[in-house]
Amino acid sequence: MTRFSRVVVVGASLAGVRTGMTLRSHGFDGEVVLVGAEDRLPYDRPPLSKELLADEVSLDEIQLLSADEATALNLDLRLGCRAVSLDSGRRTLELAHGETLSYDALVIATGSAPRMPPKWDLFEGVHLLRTVDDCFAIRSALRGSPRVAVVGGGFIGCEVASTARRLGCEVVLIEPLAAPMARVLGPGIALGMVGIPVDAGVQVRCGTAVEGFEGGKRVEHVRLKDGSVIDADVVVVGVGARPVTDWLVGSGVEVADGVLCDEHCATSVPGVYAAGDVARWLNPLFGQAMRIEHWTNAAEQGAFVARAILQGRQAGDFAPVPYVWSDQYGVKIQIAGVPQPADRIRVVEGAVEDRRFVALYERGERLAGVLAVNSPKSMLKYRRLLAHITRGGHRSGASPVTS
């Protein structure tokens, strides 16, 4: 077992918290310093677009770690502290308020930040959603049932649109592709599911993008590239995210759409690892590098990195089958694997029009992914099948194939 006296984790969200907790559960008795840019105790992010946005849960209910739990685990929480630079030669981390922390092992878990196109934030009423403060600002803006425009039909955009509609708002969802979630599900399946938001009363505008906003100090209209104009009092932007890596410039840590890692989640710098949304690691199960912005991956990767720090290569490879879920309009959507729009898609259970089905995504002879809509029991079965087939092919060196 590798011996360190101090592990510093940069990022106090799910991946960082799981790293710290797993270090302790595996017997590490040295210092664990958890550095978080926000001044709040660590919290779970999925409820920000759903239950917390709808004021159905409290902030205390979504905490990942209480002050008492941090004390019991002997975790040194440094909240409200943003990392600004890393000196990998000296093994030191500089924080925004001037403090310098030394480390024996360092974990980069700074996550991702939502993208805001240039000049979009010049108007009041235009929001991003990443933090609790963002959630509270949007929740306040939704009071009184305003007209809401959600820009971006990915999971976050769809969930915000669903919550806003449930709160009684007039909602327009704008997506440049053929249908919401088409980038993940493929256009055919996504088009078959577009009736879900429409039946809930959401106006869906696809095949066009935002040209700009109009209004005085506050946003009043959204101008689309097809020439149409949408009235809006509130705009929520969900057009993708970027990994938070700007503070690593000059550190020697290789970055390319995330922190580049090997199959052990180790970076190009000795003693430095990455986990969660910020990590782009080689997943040997699929033979490709991937960066995944989902809860399950952050939790599993944070725990793995702790084991890798303590056990070295004996911890094995980080080779999960990716998994994500989304709850929208009373519909549960679950995805396992790495489906792509160009895959061959077969519906093997139920029917898309019934909003209860399972679809398999195949790439050549390879099973690449599974989509389950309102079919959680079936997802359990197919998720196990995907893992079994994929891991079997990985061990044998053959391409995983469908049965």
Q: Tell me: the pLDDT tens digits for 127-168?
A: 999 999 999 999 999 999 999 999 999 999 999 999 999 999
Say if residues 234 and 125 touch (Cβ distance below 8 Å). Answer: yes
Q: Tell me, yes or no, if the two domains 6-113+242-315 and 330-396 fold the same way.
A: no
pLDDT for the residue numbered 290: 97
pLDDT of residue 365: 84
Q: Indicate the burial class of 162 (C-beta count within 10 angstroms; 0-12, 13-18, 19 or more).
A: buried
For residue 75, the number of C-alpha atoms closer than 13 Å in the C-beta half-sphere is: 30
Domain 330-396 has CATH 1.20.1560.10: no
Q: What pLDDT, on the 0 to 100 scale, is given for residue 393?
A: 56
Residues 173-221: pLDDT tens digits?
999 999 999 999 999 999 999 999 999 999 999 999 999 999 999 999 9
User: Largest alpha-carbon pair distance within the chain?
Assistant: 64
Separation CA 127–CA 96 (nearest Å): 25
Is a pLDDT exceeding 50 seen at residue 399?
Answer: no
Whether the pTM exceeds 0.85: the reply is yes
| pLDDT over 70 (residue 42) | yes
Fold of the domain spanning 116-239: FAD/NAD(P)-binding domain (3.50.50)
The whole-number average pLDDT for the span 14-21 is 98
Q: With both helix axes pointing from N to C terminus, report the angle between 14-25 and 295-311 in degrees, rounded to the nearest 10.
A: 40
Rg (CA), the chain: 22
pLDDT tops 50 at residue 120: yes
pLDDT score, position 397:
43
Quickly state the pLDDT bin for 341 (edges 50, 70, 90). Answer: very high
Sorting pLDDT into bands at 50, 70 and 90, what band is 388?
confident
Question: Which residue carries 């009363």 as its tokens?
Answer: 201
The yes-or-no verdict on residue 96 having pLDDT over 70 is: yes
Dist. CA 328–CA 207, nearest whole Å: 21
* Among candidate residues 69, 134, 117, the one with its CA nearest the CA of residue 240: 117
Environment class of 351 (CB within 10 Å of its CB; exposed 0-12, middle 13-18, buried 19+): exposed
**Using CA of residue 167, residue 169, residue 172, residue 174, what is the dihedral sign?**
negative
| Domain segments of the chain as ranges | 6-113+242-315, 116-239, 330-396
Q: What is the mean pLDDT of residues 223-251?
A: 97
Measured CA to CA, the distance from residue 202 to residue 161 in angstroms comes to 8
72 CB-near residues (< 8 Å, 6+ apart)? none
Rounded Cα distance, 67 and 65, in Å? 7
367 within 8 A of 390, measured Cβ to Cβ: yes
User: Which tokens is 68 given?
Assistant: 């008492």
Q: How confident is the model at residue 2 (pLDDT cuts 50, 70, 90)?
A: low
Q: Is the pLDDT of residue 401 over 90?
A: no
Q: What is the pLDDT averaged over residues 62-90?
A: 97
CATH number of 6-113+242-315: 3.50.50.60
Q: How far apart are CA 401 and CA 403, in angstroms?
A: 6
| pLDDT at residue 221, rounded to an integer | 98
- At residue 366, the pLDDT reads 85
